[in-house]
Structure 1
Amino acid sequence: MFEPIPARRAFEEVCQQIRARVASGALKKGDKLPPERSLAEQLGVSRLAIREALRSLENAGIVELQRGPKGGAFIRGGSDEKLTQLMQDMLDLGTIPLSDLTEARIFILDSVTRLACERATEEDLDALEENVRLNEEVVESGDANARLQQAGEFYRHLAAATKNKALIIVVKSLTDIMRTVLSKMELYPSKELTQSRRRLMQQLRQRNPDRAAAEMRAHLQKLHDHVSTHSKSRNLLNSSEVVTSLDLEL
């Protein structure tokens, strides 16, 4: 099943062989890898190298390690959390300026909105409408954390309406990151978000991609402009002046 490999950097070579078999389709989601001892014998490496490799693949979201009599190492479908963490780390380290992230988000969600306008089912639109209603409730309640949560859920519903798995994952990652960023800022309850969402919903219902995308861009541009004006460095995340006179929305 596997080929013996040199001892040098053995665990990385083990990872590479398993990844290669996943890429070729020989290993699929849900498949169980051979026991640790068997893998070590097939690959000609120590069991320690196998354990290191499995931990590495588990951290990458490729393998799930289950305990118990029926446990073992199983191929999983990957994890969007890894993409989110990678982007979050790059943002925190200053590799990606916050203004670059908010700019990219505008273009990505423009496309998502247009695609959702074409592909959304009535069930998708109803879910979005319900989110707008819930958002209105939390805005009235003044609960900033709940408002941030509901705002993020809207983007997830919108991405789901595209029926594009790649976009769903990217939007989820961007939304999770922006929620983390904005949770560090002082947030004020605002009715502006609900009003914008209702206008957007009207255009989605009417299947008007240009107007729907324009509404989305206008909404997201506000945050991007504010970020760009103040700073293009990660220091903005630690600044208490980020939200002082603006009702910035997710």
Structure 2
Amino acid sequence: MSAPDEIRPAAPDGPRRLRRSPRLYEQVVQQLLAWAHASGLGVGGRLPPERDLAARLGVSRATLAQALVALEVTGVVSVRHGDGTVLLAAPRTEAVLAALRARRDDLGDVIEARQALEVRLAALAARRRTEEDLAEIDAALSAMADDVRRGGRGVTGDERFHAAVTAAGHSPLLARLMAEIADLVRESRIESLSQEGRPVRSLAGHRAIAEAIRAGDAPAAAAAMTAHIELVSDVPLLTDDEG
């Protein structure tokens, strides 16, 4: 297999940029789709447990997990906690790889947009939040914590938290801009929260943001949101593959 991508150094205040070259998990995506076809696995079929599938494909579980997340965000599979991985579609391998490479190009821009919009919204939320806004932020934190405690990734609670912070900023224009990138943000959210240990760390970041908003401390809210976005931006599409 080819060597992992090289990553150009990041600008101090911008997202990491990528060179175009094949990723190990993209090769595993090809293997996985070929295996599903050869095995006669149709739409609605369930894939074997990750440990077994990694052994069949001859790859590490870490790289297989990256490939499955890539297929999840492109709508090919559904990964459900406690229910396994289900095939939702059986597209041509070339189409899936093209979609993944397009995402690699888009992801840096999505992160940059989040840095511009959500950091500002967190600061505004600290100045403008109402008791109702704080109640919704707390409810989102509770929902995410409950899901993570049960072994889930907390995707829905994470999404609800960021929506609550956006609403608390009381900026209709910034809210509309966030809505424009909502689908892309959700894809990167799934990628981030699929990494081991990430849901717990993300939840801690949310709590730091919420505390600053509750305290009315705009600079602290902006700093906490900046740190949180830097954390969740560390996803496999922007890092070297693991063997």
Say if 2:171 is the partner of 1:180.
no
Calculate the TM-score normalised by the size of structure 1.
0.50
**Deviation string for 1:129-155 (max 9, x for gaps)?**
1111111000111123xx111101111
Contact 2:122 2:221 survives alignment (8 Å): yes
Q: Identity of counterpart residues, as a percentage?
A: 22
Alpha carbons of 1:94 and 1:153: their partners in 2 closer, same or farther (altered >3 Å)?
closer
Amino acid at match of 1:164: S
2:142 to 124, 128, 133: 133
Tell me, in whole angstroms, the C-alpha distance in 2 between the residues paired with 1:217 and 1:200.
Answer: 10
Q: Compared with structure 1, are the counterparts of its residues 205 and 94 closer, same or farther at alpha carbon in structure 2 (3 Å cutoff)? A: closer
* 1:216 aligns with one of 202, 222, 225: 225
Correspondence 1:26-175 to 2 at 5 A: 93=102, 96-144=105-153, 147-175=154-182
Residues 111 and 91 of structure 1, relative CA distance in 2, 3 Å threshold? farther
Q: How far 1:166 sits from its partner (Å)?
A: 1.8
How does 1:14-25 map onto structure 2 within 5 Å?
none
CA distance in 2, matches of 1:203, 1:228: 31
RMSD: 3.1
Aligned to 2:79: none
C-alpha distance in 2 between matches for 1:113 and 1:163 = 11
Whether the 8 Å CA contact 1:125–1:205 is kept in 2: the answer is: yes
- 1:97 deviates by 2.9
After TM superposition, the structure 1 stretch with the greater mean CA deviation from structure 2, 202-211 or 219-228, is 219-228
Higher relative contact order (CA 8 A, sep 6+): 2
The answer on whether the counterparts of 2:202 and 2:232 sit within 8 Å (CA) in structure 1 is: no
Structure 1 position 111, deviation (Å): 0.5
Letter in 2 for 1:211: A
Q: 1:94 to 1:130 in 2, by over 3 A?
A: closer
Aligned mate of 2:210, from 196, 201, 210: 201
Contact 2:206/2:228, CA 8 A, preserved across alignment: no
Question: Residue type matched to 1:104 in 2?
Answer: A
- Alpha-carbon deviations, 1:205-230, whole Å to 9, x = none? 11000011101100101233556853
- Cα gap change, 1:135/1:98 in structure 2, threshold over 3 Å: closer, same or farther? same
Structure 1 residue 94, shift from structure 2 partner: 6.0
Q: Judging changes above 3 Å, is the alpha-carbon distance between structure 1 residues 120 and 182 closer, same or farther for their aligned structure 2 residues? A: closer
The answer to whether the Cα contact below 8 Å between 2:122 and 2:209 also exists between their aligned partners in 1 is no
- Counterpart Cα distance in 1 of 2:191 and 2:116: 24
What is the rounded CA distance, in whole Å, between the counterparts of 1:168 and 1:91 in structure 2? Answer: 27
Contact in 2 for aligned 1:152/1:179 (Cα 8 Å): yes
Q: TM-score, normalised by structure 2?
A: 0.51
Q: Note the C-alpha offset of 1:96.
A: 5.0
Q: Aligned with 1:191: secondary structure? A: helix
- Please say if residues 141 and 206 of structure 2, whose CA atoms lie closer than 8 Å, have aligned partners that are also in contact: yes
User: Given the superposition, is the C-alpha separation of residues 217 and 184 from structure 1 closer, same or farther in structure 2, using an over 3 Å criterion?
Assistant: closer
Gaps of 5+ in 1: 1-89, 232-240, 245-250
Indicate if the aligned counterparts of 1:91 and 1:97 stay in contact, CA closer than 8 A.
no
* Contact 1:114 1:212 survives alignment (8 Å): yes
Does the C-alpha gap of structure 1 residues 127 and 210 become closer, same or farther in structure 2, counting only changes over 3 Å?
A: same
Q: Which runs of 4+ in 1 moved over 6 A?
A: none
Structure 2 residue runs of 5 or longer lacking an equivalent are 1-98
Distance 2:145 2:156 in 1: 12
Residues of 1 paired with 2:109 and 2:177: CA distance? 15
Residue 95 (structure 1) shift:
9.5
